[in-house]
Amino acid sequence: MLQSGCVPVSNHTATSASDRIARAFLLDCAMAHARLVCVGERGAIALSDDNGEHWRRAQAPPTRLLTAVDFADARRGWAVGHDGVILHSDDGGATWRVQYRLADDSVPLFDVSFSGAHLGIAVGAFGGYVTTDDGGVTWTERRIAASDSHLYAIARASNGALIIAGEASTLLRSDDNGANWRSIASPIEGSVFGVVTGADNFVLAYGLLGAWARSHDAGNTWQTGQLPTRASIQAADISDPNAPLLGSADGSVWRFDGEPLARDVGAVTHLQRLSDGDVLLTGISGAKRLSLSASTEPASLAR
Amino acid sequence: MSPTLSVTLSSRIAAFIVGRRRSIIVTAVLLTLGLAAGISKLVLEVAFDKTFPAHHPYMDVLRHYGPQFGHRDEVLVALVANEGDIYTPAFLARLEQLTNDLFFLPGVDRARVTSLFTPNVRFTEIVAGGFTGGPVLPDGFTPIPAMAEQLRINVGKSEQARLLVSTDRRAALVRVGLTQANTARGDLLDYRQVAAELDKNIRAKYSDAQTHVHILGFAPFMGEMTGKLQEVAGFFVLTIVAMAVILYATLRSTFVTLIPIACSLIALVWLLGLMGWFGLSITPVGVLVPFLVMAIGVSHGVQIANAFVHTNSGDIGAPAAALAALSRLLLPGALALLADVLGFATILLIDIPLVRELGLTATAGIALLLLCNLALLPCLLAVSPSPRAMPVSSIGVRAAAWLGAGNAPAASRRRAIGVVGAAALVTLIAAPFAARVDVGDAQRGAPELHADSRYNIALRSVNDLFSASIDTLIVYADIGADGCMNFAAMQTIDDVAAALRELPEVLRVRVLTEVAKVNNAGWHEGSLKWRALPRDSTALGEVVSPVQTSSGLLNHDCSVLPIYLDTIDHRATTIRAVLQGIDAVRSSLPPATVKLRLAGGNLAVLAATNDVVSAAQLPVIATIYAIVFIMCVLGFRSLTAAICIVVPLAMVSVLCYALMYALNIGLTPYTLPVVAVGAGIGVDYGLYLYAQYRPALRGKSMSATALTAAARQSMSAIIATCLTLTAGVLPWLLSGLKYQADMGLLLTFMFVVNMLAAILVMPALLAIMTKHRT
């Protein structure tokens, strides 16, 4: 949405310096064993060892907006972002260093996915695609599609298939760990902002104007759906296959059937079910815990 | 010149004056008539720029950059529904009418009216491959529920429109830009006229059972200030009546009561007449001068009138009594008025035009009082009908006796030590608190007005309803022409904004780069992963171009980007912390490209004012004490006299600071003069009283009883002086202007406590310091 001059209001009340990091604009989170690691604006990397109650800042070199983070195991993780940067941590997210930078630093990277500690793929704007098979010691840039559409997300289905989602209904699949990619006839008309995978070959893609599509065969066949909003979906969690969650840019959290679970929580960039049953939500004004009660009433923020 | 000579000189001058009483009176009458004509030329001027410290570097920056962003000339009108939310047909019909009414208000820049009902408030919507948009007001809007619902949906899509609707949806905001020139007549905009129009055509019309309004902006602020100033002027008659009552209680003679009042009024007419003829105007602070002139004039006049009444008992005759009174009081009277003049003169050290004008006009007024009180007043007394014999015990004498103070120099040394010890102890206890007085003020809202003033209530309401800000510091980032196409410059500003956002005193940072980042996401179908500054200068142009200069976030050639820091409050400690934070950020900046210039916003004015007050504090206080001390030494030819008079004065200043700390009153351009003026006027009591003890101290034979009687008579006059002074400033406590109420409170304290110190501590000190010599 374009603005003609009104600065977005993000009230943050005075808080302790350690918790301020949790108020930053955060885009993505990953678990390093029991530790939450979230990344976002101005190279912010926020850590929480108590399911998002308290936060601290990780030690990381200065970078610009970080867009995604993934951990191969409890210790080894990668984060990517603008200026084509790839950061690496081998101590569970406590400290980070720059591992690689794209040759063209005007290309932002948008997602990273590791399968084990060696095989990793990062995708980004203008068809940006970069891989490693040695845990990030060397990275190789290449092109996988004819168009230079932005590639927004990458995920691995439970059967091992890799799926990339991108601009203008882009959906790509690779069944050989990324060696070859082919287009999938996309069930979504506009841009696909994200793709997440679950058990039993479950795949969920989502994007522009409240559109989503799910597949139970790792992306061969799709069933589409539409949320009752014109806002785009930019976050999802399917870790509980019985109660998947979708988050939209107009600040709502939804069930598949279009039932709102929470309203006015700010644009949602990431959703993650926590071990205690609550949901961690990130967005423009930071990370929040959300209690989704069993009732049908829209939930309120836990704090 | 020996002491005897100076006494003789006083007598000779007194004889000269009283001898020519008829010509002096005639001259005064003619002068008064001539000058009175000038009063009609006086106008009340609310030139608010004069409250700014003109020479502070912040003000140069403010003057240079401020006009490029139109920060001053905006009026905000919040229409609040008393019941329900704004999306009802009835409310929307009103909001439309309000928008139209404001549109046609004189002085309004019609291109800068922003409301849900103006076409410049637009929404954008992401669609596949791009975005679409339009005015939030549905095409062909009529106030029906379906249209109201469509408007609500459109507002949800527009960040711009959301800022015009309160967070609880009970209120809507209309922003109105004012033209620099009055469109109708082509001359400068009269803020008071705009305020009057707003009151008449907006506030009155939209305040009823269904809605109420809050109006903010410089114009309504000036309107309320002007109204309060006029109320203040209304206290003047009350003040004179109070003074007359006090005088009558002391003098017990109608005629003698009227003379000091008439003389001070004449001095005031001369002052105002001169101001009128010289084309000066009455300012928001200058309105206090007539009160001060009356208070000082009458309170000094009562000294001579009191001496006259005491002397004029029986057959001595009015001219001789007037001569005797003047001979005795010419020196202390002249010294006292001189001290007052110099007290006001020291506040010229405070580099704020309005305060300097106060100092100048008050100085002139007291200089005129010197003429009226020491020349005209004895002449009028000399021609007055003889009053009946002096009453045995006026209230002043009784009060002096009750305080048990009159016999001090002759009293026991033990008692004197006790009094001085107690005073010292109180001062020592107060000192740590006095040291904690800070510059600036802590009140939420405009410091000139009370917290419960209409304007400050509106300010808080709008702040709460719309999450708007009251206290803002603006840093102007100068990045050169087309700087917002330069990634390095934009990134630096974004870094600066982020660093400043980390300051605990900063609630919010508003800057172009924030909007640019949002717009970059907008250009990419709203993907939040794009919410960062693009590196490419063409792309930067694309994300900045939708931002209009009316947003205040950039100027026409994008060479200056203001960074708005909304802070938690405007206490001096907050301002200092924010400025330190900016300094730290600035010193870590790479040189060249970006220059951060301080400062704009209300905090800039307050910060500059605090600086000026801090810088002036020591010089003002040191100067006034040095002047008073030197004057006492020269006037009475005695170091002892100077010490005995100045020490109690200093003690009271410490107590005054402690009181300011206790009442949470900070040092401001209004309270700092009080310390100087309070000392300048406070010394008068000591001067008059010491003049009574002087013959005894010179070793002239004077029985203890005689001395006590003389001292009691003088004290009765001093108490009357104090009451008169207090009557002059006590009505200020009722003022709707907070600075005036604060000044009234502190001056009252200074007048009363200085009086107590003069009649209790000064004689005791004198007793201690002189006893061992005799």
Name every residue whose Cβ is closer than 8 Å to that of residue B519 and which is 6 or more positions away in sequence.
A2, A3, B542, B543, B544, B546, B547
Q: Rounded to whole angstroms, how far apart are CA atoms B742 and B680?
A: 18
Tell me the pLDDT band of B309, cut-offs 50, 70 and 90: confident
Structure confidence at residue A229 (pLDDT): 85
CB contact under 8 A, B527 and A234: yes
Distances (CA, A) of B455 to A117, B82, B213, B222, B231: 64, 19, 11, 10, 16
Nearest-Cα distance to chain B for A284, in Å, is 9
To the nearest 10°, report the CA torsion of B650, B652, B654, B657: -130
pLDDT surpassing 60 at residue B748: yes
* DSSP state, residue B373: I
Contact B522, B131 (CB under 8 A): yes
Residue B532 with chain A: CB contacts under 8 Å: 41, 64-65, 82, 108
Distance from CA of B131 to the nearest CA of A (A): 7
Q: What is the mean pLDDT of residues A175-195?
A: 90
Model's pTM, two decimal places? 0.83
Q: What pLDDT is attached to residue A84?
A: 94
Calculate Rg over the CA atoms of chain B: 32
Alpha helices in B142-288 (DSSP H): 145-156, 159-162, 191-197, 204-206, 218-251, 254-277
Chain A closest CA to B163's CA: distance in Å?
Answer: 8
Residues of B in Cβ contact (< 8 Å) with A249: 526, 528
pLDDT surpassing 60 at residue A162: yes
Identify the residue whose tokens are 């549109």.
Answer: B103
Contact B156 A250 (CB under 8 A): yes
Kindly list the residues from chain A whose CB atom is less than 8 angstroms away from the CB atom of residue B523: 2
pLDDT at B158: 79
Query: Strand (E) positions, B117-196?
Result: 122-127, 130-135, 171-178
Q: Is B394 exposed, middle or buried (0-12, 13-18, 19+ CB in 10 A)?
A: buried
Task: Report the pLDDT averaged over residues B503-519.
Answer: 90
Identify the pLDDT of residue A233.
92
CB A271 within 8 A of CB A245: yes
Find the residue in B nearest to A40 (Cα).
Answer: B529
Interface test with A, best of B168, B524, B528 (most A CBs within 10 A): B528
Q: Check A5 against B157: CB less than 8 A apart.
A: no
Q: Dihedral of CA B397/B400/B405/B408: which sign?
A: negative
Contacts of B756 (CB under 8 A, 6+ apart): B403
Res B92 pLDDT > 90: yes
- The angle at the Cα of B94, spanning B89 to B100, to the nearest 5 degrees, equals 130
Neighbours of A189 (CB within 10 A): 14
From B566, B458, B21, select the one nearest B212 (Cα to Cα): B458
Q: Which residues of A fall within a CB distance of 8 Å from B514?
A: 7-8
Confidence of residue A197 (pLDDT cuts 50, 70, 90): very high
- Cβ atoms A207, A191 nearer than 8 A: yes
Separation of alpha carbons B78 and B166, rounded Å: 9
- Looking at the predicted structure, is the pLDDT value of residue B5 above 70? no
Among chain A residues, the shortest Cα distance to B163 is held by: A6
3-state helix, strand, coil in chain B (%, to 5): 65, 10, 25
Flag if B518 and A108 touch (Cβ within 8 Å).
no
Q: Which residue of B has its CA nearest to A211?
A: B128
Answer yes or no: do B535 and A106 touch at CB < 8 A.
yes
| pLDDT confidence bin for B370, thresholds 50/70/90 | very high
Give every CB contact of residue B296 below 8 A, 6+ residues apart in sequence. B264, B337, B340, B366, B369, B681, B725, B728
- Does the distance separating the beta carbons of A230 and B526 come in below 8 Å? no
Q: A150 vs chain B: nearest CA distance in angstroms?
A: 10
Q: Phi, psi at residue B548, to the nearest 5°?
A: -90, 155
What is the C-alpha separation between A261 and A281, in angstroms, rounded?
Answer: 13
Residue A268: both structure tokens together: 């949602």
Indicate the average pLDDT of chain A.
87
**Token code pair at residue B648:** 């109690």
Give rounded-to-5 percent helix, strand, coil for chain A: 5, 45, 50
Average pLDDT over residues B143-171: 86
Contact A222, A192 (CB under 8 A): no
The pLDDT tens digits for B429-442 are 999 999 998 888 77
Give per-residue pLDDT as tens, A219-257: 889 999 899 888 899 999 998 888 889 999 888 888 888
* Cβ-proximal residues to A118 (8 Å cutoff; 6+ apart), any chain: A132, A133, A134, A135
Q: H or E stretch including B337?
A: helix B318-346
**What does the pLDDT average to over B11-19?**
89
pLDDT band of residue B223 (cuts 50, 70, 90) is: confident
Per-residue pLDDT tens digits for A71-106: 999 999 999 999 999 999 999 999 999 999 999 988
CB contact under 8 A, B126 and A20: no
What is the C-alpha to C-alpha distance for residues B530 and B516, in angstroms, rounded to an integer? 11
Confidence of residue B70 (pLDDT cuts 50, 70, 90): low
The strand pair at A26-32 and A211-215 is best described as unpaired
CB contact under 8 A, A5 and B133: no
Say which of A5, A42, A65 has its CB closest to residue B547. A5
What mean pLDDT is predicted for residues B753-774? Answer: 79
Is the model's pLDDT at B409 over the cut of 60? Answer: no
Taking CB atoms and an 8 Å cutoff, what residues of chain A touch B116? Answer: none
Q: Indicate the burial class of B145 (C-beta count within 10 angstroms; 0-12, 13-18, 19 or more).
A: exposed
pLDDT tens per residue across span B686-723: 888 888 777 766 665 556 666 677 777 777 788 888 98
Half-sphere exposure of A34 (CA within 13 A, CB side): 5
Cα separation, B362 vs B356, whole angstroms:
10
- Higher pLDDT pick, B79 / B73: B79
pLDDT digits (tens, 9 = 90+) for A281-297: 999 888 988 887 644 44
Which two tokens mark B239? 């003040």
Percent of chain B with pLDDT over 90: 34
Question: Region B156-173: what's the mean pLDDT?
Answer: 85
- Token pair belonging to B415: 């008692």
What are the tens digits of pLDDT across the range A37-49? 999 999 999 999 9
What angle, 0 to 180 degrees and rounded to 10, lies between the N-to-C axes of helices B704-729 and B289-311?
150
pLDDT given for residue B762 in this prediction:
87
Please state whether the peptide bond connecting residue B204 to the residue before it is cis, i.e. omega within 30 degrees of 0: no
Which residue has better confidence, B29 or B407?
B29
State the maximum Cα–Cα separation within chain A, in Å, rounded to a whole number.
51
Mean pLDDT of the residues in chain B = 85
Of residues B608 and A23, which shows the higher confidence score?
A: B608
Tell me the pLDDT band of B47, cut-offs 50, 70 and 90. Answer: low
Q: Do B522 and A1 touch (CB under 8 A)?
A: yes
Q: How confident is the model at residue B23 (pLDDT cuts 50, 70, 90)?
A: very high
**How many CB pairs below 8 Å do chains A and B form together?**
133
Using a CB-CB cut-off of 8 Å, the residues of chain B touching A186 are none
pLDDT average, residue stretch B398-425 = 70
Q: Is the dihedral of CA B357, B360, B364, B366 positive or negative?
A: positive
Shortest CA distance from A233: residue in chain B: B527
User: Is B522 close to A3, i.e. CB distance below 8 A?
Assistant: yes
C-alpha B348/C-alpha B344 separation (Å) is 7
Q: Average of pLDDT values for B293-314?
A: 85
- Give pLDDT tens digits for B663-689: 988 898 889 988 888 888 888 888 888
Of B47 and B182, the one with more pLDDT? B47
Q: What is the CA radius of gyration of chain A?
A: 18
Sort out which chain B residues have CB atoms less than 8 A from A209's CB and list them: 126-128
Q: Give the separation between CA B441 and CA B739, rounded to whole angstroms.
A: 10
Task: Name which of B169, B529, B548 to mutate to probe chain A: the one with the most chain A Cβ atoms within 10 A of its Cβ.
Answer: B529
* Closest to A96 in 3D by CA, of A57, A141, A134, A59: A59
Query: Is it the case that residue A9 has pLDDT exceeding 60?
Result: no
Which of A1, A11, A65 minimises the CB distance to B467? A11
Is B159 in Cβ contact with A6 (below 8 Å)? yes
List the beta bridge partners of residue A214: A204, A223
With residue A262 as reference, give the H or E element that holds it: strand A260-262
Angle at CA of residue B166, ends B161 and B172, nearest 5°: 65
